[in-house]
Amino acid sequence: MKWKPNRHSHLTLQEQIIDWMKSRIECGEWTVGTKIPTQRELAIQFQVNRSTVQLALDELKADGFIESKVGSGIYVANNSWNVLLNGSPPNWQQHIDASIHKPNYHTIQLINEYEQFHHVIRLGTGEIAPELLPTKLLEQSLKEIVLDARSIGYSSPLGNEKLRVHLCEYLKKRGIQTSSENILIVSGALQALQLIAVGLLEEGSVIFHEQPSYLNSVHPFQSAGMRMISVSKNDHLKYQLMTFKRKRQSLFYTVPTLHNPTGYNWSLKEKEDLFHVCKELQIPIIEDDVYHELLFDTTSPAIKSFDQSGQVLYIGSVSKTLSPGLRIGWVVGPSSVIGRLADIKMQTDYGSSAISQEIVSHWLSTGLYEQHLVELRQQLQLRASFVEHILTEQFKDIATWKKPEGGFYIWLKFHKPIVNKALFLRLLKENILINPGYIYDSNDSHHIRLSYAYASFEQLKVGLNTLFKMIQHNK
Amino acid sequence: MKWKPNRHSHLTLQEQIIDWMKSRIECGEWTVGTKIPTQRELAIQFQVNRSTVQLALDELKADGFIESKVGSGIYVANNSWNVLLNGSPPNWQQHIDASIHKPNYHTIQLINEYEQFHHVIRLGTGEIAPELLPTKLLEQSLKEIVLDARSIGYSSPLGNEKLRVHLCEYLKKRGIQTSSENILIVSGALQALQLIAVGLLEEGSVIFHEQPSYLNSVHPFQSAGMRMISVSKNDHLKYQLMTFKRKRQSLFYTVPTLHNPTGYNWSLKEKEDLFHVCKELQIPIIEDDVYHELLFDTTSPAIKSFDQSGQVLYIGSVSKTLSPGLRIGWVVGPSSVIGRLADIKMQTDYGSSAISQEIVSHWLSTGLYEQHLVELRQQLQLRASFVEHILTEQFKDIATWKKPEGGFYIWLKFHKPIVNKALFLRLLKENILINPGYIYDSNDSHHIRLSYAYASFEQLKVGLNTLFKMIQHNK
């Protein structure tokens, strides 16, 4: 639906592209200093050859509308003609550069951007495939939902009460006893982390986490000025925590069940040890438990199920199971904490979508959700086997991996340190997206977070094959 | 759905309440230092007399579970029995007190809390009444929506493309020419302000706004460390801006059409003057335009419609018109700015609800939205007349106001400085909620933001009558 040139116009494609770009600049949508998309991206958008784009850009450069900066890209030029036409606009780039929030890593920006293109093979995506989403059943449930005028007004601070009551029942099956007043509905687990970062920690607090960590690929705590400390869950855990805790406030963040990005499960003993050490040191735990429903066989208790003293903030979500588009997750914790997080949420976005909350409530209360999970686990297991088969055929001499116990991911470790940005970009040129290990641990050049959840069987085969050949070719 | 005692139990109400509260404390949901709800709130929740609650609390105090702090309330006590039972939990209150984000004002926390109780008369609420929401039509549209598996996955950074394309068409009618790449879908206007605060401004930047201001009742900029400067839109505007701008980055925030909280409209000349002064000084403008569809008669152009140089960030929403529960708004601005805000949104909540976006897209494209607006404006006008009539009958000797030109609000000004927290609390005791002027301007003790949009005709009559009597009684 983005603009593209009209092939039946009396103007050439190149002329239309030039006119369109000039109009972007003249109407102030591309201000001075704006980085123009790459030739590659424009060619995809316009559905023309890259050479056509190149010719159009050359002409705009010659006219002084845009300029190249070596090694960086093409930008809207700050020429007097522009200024005469529009007056001098605010220097937005300066605003952006000086502002508070960290940008996403460039690799992640590229992932977010290229995930939109349907022809791209996504080997790392943390999302279930379109064909695994219960789209028709969701559509059906929309037809069954009865809206109450009060429920589509501004939300109560904690979120839809019906949904919270159903969640209490659901959480019992996970060994978690709670009440609806101890649950806050959020727009996905990431928002829970944002609220915790600004609502429960002083600046400079210490966030303990494992390496590699999902938290390195997003910045909820870093952007709020927290210090990230990696620890390993070995015998020295207590010593590690004591060393860094000192007089700072601290929190331990963990995904102990179907860890992101590794897919590993902590043993029961490891969970208990962490809980007891943190309890002794009065370090609260954030248990991110968004994958647990996707365990193939055994269940593994939540750390929260040990908790009788409000030590653990527990986070759940339907994003990995039912649909990320609903944007519904939850936090369970002591009332004072939940009240504080709710107060900030009311200042942030006045609550989550009422319709999404109604849908999740419907799916939980009718049993649809758990029926869907049974089917989803089977499908994921089939996909896991398929990918393991390819790995065994092609990758066993160059990499190692653990058999997945559930979820989406295989943490593929190459013998040689070959996973770098160059590899990422080379694959992107072949329209293959990977999640390289370095976005979860900046020192990592051995791993890829492989996801068998998103791409089709055919795409998985083609994508892995291309990856394999590229590695062979470059070694 | 909150817990309440069972009237058919063999235990007395008081015993059941005591057991329930003990269980809250024992399972760690009410941690040490947690403030217990007031007797009044508990009596409402339990549906018992306040004396029953009082007796239960007295017994819990005698047993050392809870303690009173003079003038502050009742808290879970830090006694050795608790500690023996649970181990020493993290001191959450210390975490909360030291953390970054400002809490809501106490008055606003009370408003958020009491708005949940159906028997409370809401004289100030910034929301349309349940009976004005097109609940049945929304329900109907849920039945018509066809979901696409791709659209319910994680969102593209800018939001649903179909919706953005429809918004381009819709914005044309507001005199705003833009393209879908210059629009970011957000979860309501408040989220747009949050993203701007952390994504476009260095710490210590200056935010210019008028007094009174909606921004004083929420804290998106204050919590990010910005400095708020009130200015008046008179002849000295330029001088005022120059004085404070100096070397700091700055932004001008305004609701020029149906201003919140006053309901006033800026004249065309005032809008033009602001635009030109800000342009000359290179101060970006945030135009919050969430009420414009609710103008009764004349339309008034958006400041954004003058903008050819990317000077103005324009914010719109369906929260004031279609349903706040959808949590859908939008920001329009230069590509570099929109890209930056989208990048932060992806780090904050991975996009807004896909279902909500589908619904808004459906309502815009089918014309349902504009049909609904016609009806809504008529209903609001009827309500405005009704309230004006009561004001003229009862309040004309003690207060002044302007005839509303649209939207929700009458900015009622009392001759005497009687609007203070005591009045707010006295009214709350009578189950009447007002939005006192001091939440929009801390020095204001003359105004109430009266809303004719939410309460029923009967409630408006009873509520205003009680307000009038209380003022007469206390003068």
Express each pLDDT in A416-440 by its tens digit: 999 999 999 999 999 999 999 999 9
Would you say residue A84 has pLDDT above 50?
no
Domain annotation covers residue A132: no
Domain annotation covers residue A1: no
pLDDT tens readout for residues A33-74: 888 888 888 888 898 999 899 989 988 888 788 888 877 788
Give how far B237 is from chain A: nearest CA, Å: 19
| Domain end marker among B310, B340, B366 | B366
Give how far B179 is from chain A: nearest CA, Å: 8
CB contact under 8 A, A24 and B93: no
Nearest CA in chain B to A133: B149
Domain annotation covers residue B104: no
- Asked if B327 and A351 count as a contact pair (C-beta separation under 8 A), the reply is yes
pLDDT tens readout for residues A159-202: 999 999 999 999 999 999 999 999 999 999 999 999 999 899 98
- Cβ contacts of A322 on chain B, cutoff 8 Å: none
Place of tokens 């954004």: B304
Q: Which of A85, A86, A347 to mutate to test the interface with B (most CBs of B within 10 A)?
A: A347
- Same-domain pairing of A217 and A352: yes
| Domain end marker among A366, A392, A426 | A366
Instruction: Residue B280: name the closest of B254, B309, B301, B247 by CA.
Output: B309
- Asked if A88 and B282 count as a contact pair (C-beta separation under 8 A), the reply is yes
Domain annotation covers residue A137: no
Residue range A235-253: mean pLDDT, rounded: 81
Give how far A394 is from chain B: nearest CA, Å: 31
State chain A's mean pLDDT as an integer.
90
Domain annotation covers residue B105: no
Instruction: Residue A433: name the closest of A187, A122, A180 by CA.
Output: A122
**Could you give the residue ranges of the DSSP H alpha helices within B1-49?**
13-26, 39-46
At B301 the pLDDT is 94
Cis status, amide bond into A284, omega within 30 of 0: no
CB contact under 8 A, B309 and A187: no
Nearest CA in chain A to B76: A336
Would you say residue A248 has pLDDT above 80?
no
Query: Of B28, B194, B353, which has the smallest distance from its Cβ to A348's Cβ?
Result: B194
Give how far B395 is from chain A: nearest CA, Å: 30
Residue range B140-157: mean pLDDT, rounded: 87
| Domain end marker among B335, B366, B397 | B366
Residue range B315-319: mean pLDDT, rounded: 97
CATH number for the domain that contains residue B217: 3.40.640.10
**Could you give the residue ranges of the DSSP H alpha helices within A282-334?**
none
At B79 the pLDDT is 64
At B161 the pLDDT is 92
Domain count, chain B: 3
- Same-domain pairing of B360 and B376: no
CATH number for the domain that contains residue A51: 1.10.10.10
- Same-domain pairing of B254 and B296: yes
At B80 the pLDDT is 47
- Same-domain pairing of A378 and A456: yes
- Same-domain pairing of B382 and B459: yes
Distance (Å, rounded) from C-alpha B291 to C-alpha B316?
8
- Same-domain pairing of A316 and A381: no
- Cβ contacts of B152 on chain A, cutoff 8 Å: 133, 135, 138, 323-326
Domain annotation covers residue B138: no
At B165 the pLDDT is 96
Q: Which of A26, A27, A45, A156 to mutate to test the interface with B (most CBs of B within 10 A)?
A: A27
Phi, psi of A64 (to 5 degrees): 80, 10
Would you say residue B298 has pLDDT above 80?
no
Query: Where in the sequence is the domain holding B450, given as residue range(s)?
Result: 121-127+372-474
- Cβ contacts of A101 on chain B, cutoff 8 Å: 198-199, 344, 347
Residue range B98-121: mean pLDDT, rounded: 86
Place of tokens 């919050």: B288
Q: Is residue B82 very low, low, confident or very high in pLDDT (cuts 50, 70, 90)?
A: low
Nearest CA in chain A to B215: A347
- Same-domain pairing of A379 and A356: no
Give how far B344 is from chain A: nearest CA, Å: 7
pLDDT tens readout for residues A257-298: 999 999 999 999 999 999 999 998 889 999 999 999 999 987
Domain annotation covers residue A113: no
- Same-domain pairing of B379 and B415: yes
B380 burial level (CB within 10 Å; 0-12, 13-18, 19+): buried
- Same-domain pairing of B337 and B191: yes
Q: A77-91, A196-210, A416-430, B377-391: lowest mean pLDDT where?
A: A77-91
Q: A384-388, A400-404, B15-19, B139-143: lowest mean pLDDT where?
A: B15-19
- Same-domain pairing of B38 and B58: yes
Residue range B286-312: mean pLDDT, rounded: 93
Q: Is residue B1 very low, low, confident or very high in pLDDT (cuts 50, 70, 90)?
A: low
Would you say residue B229 has pLDDT above 50?
yes
pLDDT tens readout for residues A93-105: 888 888 888 888 8
- DSSP secondary structure string, B39-79? HHHHHHHHTS-HHHHHHHHHHHHHTTSEEEETTTEEEE---
CATH number for the domain that contains residue A378: 3.90.1150.10
Nearest CA in chain B to A218: B347
- DSSP secondary structure string, B222-233? GGGTPEEEE--S
At B246 the pLDDT is 64
Q: Is residue B88 very low, low, confident or very high in pLDDT (cuts 50, 70, 90)?
A: low
- Same-domain pairing of A284 and A200: yes
Instruction: Residue A329: name the closest of A314, A337, A340, A319 by CA.
Output: A319
Q: Of all helices (H) and strands (E), which one includes residue A300?
A: none
Mapping DSSP to helix (H, G, I), strand (E, B) and coil, where does residue A436 land?
Answer: strand
Radius of gyration of chain B (CA): 25
- Same-domain pairing of A352 and A377: no
At B424 the pLDDT is 95
Domain annotation covers residue A414: yes
ipTM of the shown complex: 0.84
Query: Of B109, B146, B350, which has the smallest distance from its Cβ to A343's Cβ?
Result: B109
Mapping DSSP to helix (H, G, I), strand (E, B) and coil, where does residue A272 land?
Answer: helix
